[in-house]
Amino acid sequence: MFRFELTTHSTAPREALFDLSLDVDAHVASMHGTNERAVAGVTSGAIGLGESVTWRARHFGIVWNMTSSVTALDRPSRFVDEQTRGPFRSFRHEHLFIERGTGSTMIDRIEASAPLGPLGTLAERLALGGHLRRLIAERNRVLVARAERPGA
């Protein structure tokens, strides 16, 4: 299993970042490099508590499908999505949103484990952890830019 936490600061209010983080279309726009798209479940607009989305994307030259469900939601401070079907043995992503003076902070806490026993552990150490961290950082960069746009 691997874990990491990523902190992103913004001048946008936490409500804006929270809502964008639950928006399937905003997520797709932030993942243009992987050609990620929603193919089942909630495929456009906001996803809510108990709802799921199936993502299809290319990572490491392979097309993957992953279904995630929103398992906790407390607007505008926190939500959790977890893999219900897909390439990981387990995958949990907790999103936290904290008001900070004239802006806000997003904190992403990821816990995941790869299948395949020792081979999966090796993949986690060599590639998966860093790859996921870069994906989440890029996603956050795009969401913050969108939230901070005038008139957003």
Residue 152: pLDDT over 70: no
CATH number at residue 31: 3.30.530.20
Q: If DSSP codes are grouped into helix, strand and coil, which group holds residue 92? A: strand
Residue with tokens 């993957």: 64
Domain that holds residue 45: 2-148
Q: What is the pTM of this model?
A: 0.94
pLDDT tens for residues 32-73? Answer: 878 899 999 999 999 999 999 999 998 878 788 999 999 999
Residue with tokens 């950082």: 137
Residue 125: pLDDT over 90: no
Domain total in the chain: 1
| Pairing verdict, β 37-41 and 2-10 | unpaired
Q: For residues 123 and 121, what is the distance between their CA atoms, to the nearest angstrom?
A: 5
pLDDT of residue 24: 97
Kindly state the average pLDDT of the residues 105-127.
Answer: 83
